[in-house]
Amino acid sequence: MKAYSPPTAPAGQGARSYQVRTHGCQMNVHDSERISGVLEDAGYVRATDGADADLVVFNTCAVRENADNKLYGNLSHLAPIKQQRPDMQIAVGGCLAQKDRGAVVDKAPWVDVVFGTHNLGSLPVLLERARHNAAAEVEILDSLKEFPSTLPARRESSYAGWVSVSVGCNNTCTFCIVPALRGKEVDRRPGDVLAEVQALVDEGVLEVTLLGQNVNAYGMSFVDPALGRQRSAFADLLRTAGDIDGLERLRFTSPHPAEFTTDVIDAMAETPAVCPQLHMPLQSGSDRVLRSMRRSYRRTRFLSILDEVRDRIPDAAISTDIIVGFPGETEEDFAQTLDMVATARFASAFTFQYSPRPGTPAATMGDQVPKEVVTERYLRLTALQDEICLQENRRTVGNRVELLVTADSGRKSAETRRRTGRARDGRLVHFTAGDAESIRAGDVIETVVTGAAPHHLIADDGVLSHRRTRAGDASAAGRTAQTPPIGVGLGMPAMGVPAVADAPGATAGGSCGGGCGS
């Protein structure tokens, strides 16, 4: 990829500084890493904490109703700063920008650039154009211009990394606006995915999470038509990525119950690097509501998946998503959701109060549930799930756990003198260590669980073992993983790519040489 020319700066000043503010899902977090990479490739530098940035980028979410209020409230706070510092620039990208388009500038005329989910790489050029023309630039594409993986990335972590296997979604859930904003599903070539995992491991990263709006549908919509449809592609990808030397933990999110197959469960159970963790979105425990949501599975099918996973991976921690108050949800429907939660015994759950999103079928449905009813049901659900979380976490007391130490230096940690790590099953564990200063984020320790709360575990009997890692070295030095552009543009196979690079069983080392764009 050809680098952009560094942006101009006022006379006597160095490179322009930037700050990216991210809202929304893991996909947005990963997109922000690409936005940062593109900006730094163009000569920008990240603003230090507490400093006023020359450029503020909002990477937005549009899934929930308060996303609009949050964005425009934040933009209002920047308006007087922009007035005092006219050379400052403000850019709005992501799903809300894709949805609102030019309306962003109409509501906040001090915004300089609006860009969508399909053209992250255009941001530096749009900023330069807006500065040169002294006018707002709005560029929203209706289809993907390039995979985000073909852009450079400034990773946020030295020990964990995101890797997208696809973009977009082919489902038609009536509550979801994502397909309208991110488009139909397009799957990356297996060789490109493996090359990116290998690139992260080469940087010392120990844990990788594979991302997709419907990650287990991978293989149905390859960008390269020569690959055809491969129903076992995701299971094959898990096995091959899990075999990469140096990768200790492999996760993925989020699958769809309707397409979750036994071969994926087998790959999880038989690949040591794949973590015993599964996020399986339920949304509702009522078959009638699931039908109205256009979720193509029912209670029986969902519970059979959980049974099969727990049979093959007995210590698996299963989490979920649940929406409360979907249009037409009755008290009986909600009771079925409570019953489902009690039966499934999720390790954790992301619970949401339904909010209508313009452009989705559910927003125009009759029988919208009154807000006070939704809130009351939500509180009952969270109370039940919190009790289940606590019971499930208490079952782990006395267990020896391996933790990947995280970069948690919050106020609570300082008060308790505990550090934080993530267990292989995804649970957060706050631990004490006699020589805590020698343990760096990115190191691996073993300890014993001594206590439990609904949303975390406690390990206060000290550290049994401590392994220093390359990720810990990088973290101590203040370095995060940096990966180059990987892959090719849509429908544009690279010259000289070996045929083996596209096979799900290809080695990552072999695919990196032919799959990396330039």
- Residues annotated as binding site for [4Fe-4S] cluster? 25, 61, 95, 169, 173, 176
Q: Give the tokens for residue 332.
A: 């009986």
From edge to edge, which strands make up the β-sheet containing 400-405? 451-453, 456-459, 428-431, 419-423, 400-405, 444-448, 463-467
Give the annotated binding-site residues: 25, 61, 95, 169, 173, 176
Per the CB < 8 A criterion, the answer to whether 451 and 397 are in contact is yes
Q: Give the orientation angle of helix 26-41 with respect to helix 123-133, to 10 degrees.
A: 60
Q: What are phi and psi of 63, to 5 degrees?
A: -70, -40
What secondary structure, in 3-state letters, does 220-238 show? CCECCHHHCCCCCHHHHHH
Proportion of the chain in helix, strand, coil states, percent, rounded to 5:
40, 20, 40
Whole-number Å distance between alpha carbons of 287 and 304: 15
244 close to 197: Cβ distance less than 8 angstroms? yes
Phi, psi of 353 (to 5 degrees): -85, 125
CA–CA separation, 141 vs 58, rounded Å? Answer: 18
